[in-house]
Structure 1
Amino acid sequence: MKDYLVRATAADAQIRAFAATTRQMVETARQKHDTSPVVTAALGRLLTAGSMMGSMLKGEEDLLTLQVTGDGPMGGMTVTADSKGHVKGYANEPQVILPANSQGKLDVGGAVGSGILRVIQDSGLKDPYVGQTVLQTGEIAEDLTYYFATSEQVPSSVGLGVLMERDNTVRQAGGFIVQLMPFAEEETISRLEQNLGKIRSVTSMLDEGLTPEELLGLVLEGMDIQFRDTCEVEFSCSCSKERVEKALISIGREEIDKMIADGEPIEVKCHFCNKGYQFSVQELEEIVEKCRK
């Protein structure tokens, strides 16, 4: 099944909902960053959330950034998404090994630790919107549920999951976000709570072959669900040698001169996709000339 997300409404638009299957996207991130299983699970959850939250953006050029900073061994994660299903991200420390948690599952909360979740929405204006909340569990889904309720005042339920194979590749990944509109009636809220109380984990449902549409069908059972559209999602990075060159220019002449003095070519890697870009001594000298202009 190709990675994609679906958008829907239910109960006469009292509810809006999103669901996604993201196995290939998360596996691509795992391969690019060589992440350990617990980091793959953590980053995969944030990438999945980013894909769905990116689809909430109104402008075609708008960008969403999710930043998790924690005192756990992983240090933190950053994910960026647009409104067209393009998502990229990285973990500060890709190789973290921890014992399973008390439920026998990957200890994402232990890898993340205590810290902050930031949601940055850049609509091309002078100052982007920044929302910030304290991490509740470090398990990502609960933290985003808390963020929506406190920072955006939108009662929400977020479910995210990544299931690993024994060879540490990604078996399943996906999630859902369900949000109540301000005019939602008590009957609607009560029915949604009942449905959420009955569903199994996201990964178990995906592993049984459920599509995002079928997943939302369970979450919104009996609530007149209306599917609006679908969108393919993928791990996609827009880095280039020209962009990396601009980043080198920003560090200043003095630092580049030190690189030139070493007399060796350098390689600069993109944080988001780990692709390396080579710069010869001559190219570094040309960059210094640009700094002078």
Structure 2
Amino acid sequence: MGNLYRAISADGSAFAEVLDAKDIVSEIERIHKTSAVITAGLGRLTIAASLMGYMLKGDEDSITLRVDGGGPAGQLVAVADSRGNVKSCVNNPVVEIPLNAQGKLDVGGAVGTDGTLSVVKDMGLKEPYVGVIPLVSGEIAEDIASYYATSEQIPTVCSLGVLVNPDLTVKSAGGFLVQLLPFADEKCIDIIEKNVAKIRPVSAMLDEGITPEEIANMLLDGLEPNVLDTAAPVYKCDCSRERTERVLISIGKDELKSIADEGKDTAVSCHFCGKEYVFTPDEIRKLMGE
């Protein structure tokens, strides 16, 4: 499970949210059998979704992040609930491209930069909130910060990182969000900027055993941070046979009849966890109402 820690400055002008997500991203690699650059890219998006989901208020609220960058990875999707529990998927889990100019995994090259980040918040209202922005870099963290600045007008610093071992297992993974609240003064802004400038990559700090609490205190150093709350989010898929039946019904009677008439069992796999649901021709006909 993940280790999520939230802190707020003593005057309530800034807050930080930090997540150690090694276990969550390890589950992504196990389920989707991703190549290193996809583990990093989908891992970053999944960490962001967990952090953003945990900021939602209602028990049934959820958030969906979707990146369409035009790169070889195809579409990346991550869905989180208000407890930070999260699931994710990608069109192409195995992409092999050269390292970038800094000698690091080229997430932007795999994701692409010619496209959009969409954020859908389902908060139990008539219509979900939808925000769509052009991708800044395809590296995910900059795109998340741009979303907050553009769509929600909230000054935000976002850092996301995944270190992958040579055997493709996850060495470390995590991220943080720092946000200024509406009444933050110039002094607070200056302190946050200096703290962020000094901070090292989040994946490197977590790999060294530095805790989310310690990272949050570094980010809010000089602002007398107080703990808000903690959580232990997990990679969690909520698929079910009933939900799969609804998906099949949605494709229409003509298509279902064609499937049933083939006389073979039909297997439907969940994109998020890989679980397979098998339907016999008779079960398909029942879905048609026959």
Partner of 1:6: 5
Question: Residues of 2 paired with 1:268 and 1:101: CA distance?
Answer: 37
Gaps of 5+ in 1: none
For the Cα contact (< 8 Å) 1:11–1:188, is it kept in 2?
no
Question: Residues of 2 paired with 1:97 and 1:170: CA distance?
Answer: 17
1:34 matched to 2:36? The reply is no
Q: Encode CA deviations 1:151-174: one digit per residue, 9 max, x unaligned.
A: 100001001000111110111010
For the Cα contact (< 8 Å) 1:32–1:274, is it kept in 2?
yes
For the Cα contact (< 8 Å) 2:6–2:216, is it kept in 1?
no
Partner of 1:167: 167
Shift of 1:265: 0.4
Shift of 1:264: 0.9
Partner of 2:74: 75
Q: Encode CA deviations 1:71-100: one digit per residue, 9 max, x unaligned.
A: 100112111111112101101111111110
Question: Which SS does the other structure have where 2:56 is aligned?
Answer: coil
- Aligned CA RMSD, in angstroms, stands at 1.0
Partner of 1:260: 260
Question: Residues of 1 paired with 2:289 and 2:151: CA distance?
Answer: 46
Question: Residues of 1 paired with 2:51 and 2:272: CA distance?
Answer: 19
Partner of 1:176: 176
The percentage of counterpart residues that share the same residue type is 49
Number of paired residues?
Answer: 289
Partner of 1:222: 222
Partner of 1:289: 289
Letter in 2 for 1:63: S
1:148 matched to 2:169? The reply is no
Question: Residues of 2 paired with 1:126 and 1:254: CA distance?
Answer: 31
Question: Residues of 2 paired with 1:241 and 1:63: CA distance?
Answer: 21
* Pairing 1:1-293 to 2, within 5 Å after superposition: 2-114=1-113, 115-289=115-289
Question: Which SS does the other structure have where 1:97 is aligned?
Answer: coil
For the Cα contact (< 8 Å) 1:158–1:175, is it kept in 2?
yes
Gaps of 5+ in 2: none
**Greater displacement, 15-24 / 218-227:** 218-227
Shift of 1:288: 1.7
Question: Residues of 1 paired with 2:181 and 2:288: CA distance?
Answer: 54
Question: Residues of 2 paired with 1:39 and 1:236: CA distance?
Answer: 19
Question: Residues of 1 paired with 2:23 and 2:32: CA distance?
Answer: 14
Q: Encode CA deviations 1:185-236: one digit per residue, 9 max, x unaligned.
A: 1111011111111111111101110110011122222220111110111000
Question: Which SS does the other structure have where 1:268 is aligned?
Answer: strand
Letter in 1 for 2:5: V
Question: Residues of 1 paired with 2:243 and 2:135: CA distance?
Answer: 33
Question: Which SS does the other structure have where 2:288 is aligned?
Answer: helix
Question: Which SS does the other structure have where 1:289 is aligned?
Answer: coil
What TM-score results when the alignment is normalised by the length of structure 2?
0.97
Shift of 1:11: 4.5
Question: Residues of 1 paired with 2:201 and 2:140: CA distance?
Answer: 14
For the Cα contact (< 8 Å) 1:239–1:270, is it kept in 2?
yes
For the Cα contact (< 8 Å) 2:37–2:107, is it kept in 1?
yes
Question: Which SS does the other structure have where 1:28 is aligned?
Answer: helix
Question: Which SS does the other structure have where 2:218 is aligned?
Answer: helix
Question: Residues of 2 paired with 1:76 and 1:260: CA distance?
Answer: 31
What TM-score results when the alignment is normalised by the length of structure 1?
0.96
Question: Which SS does the other structure have where 1:234 is aligned?
Answer: coil
Question: Which SS does the other structure have where 2:289 is aligned?
Answer: helix
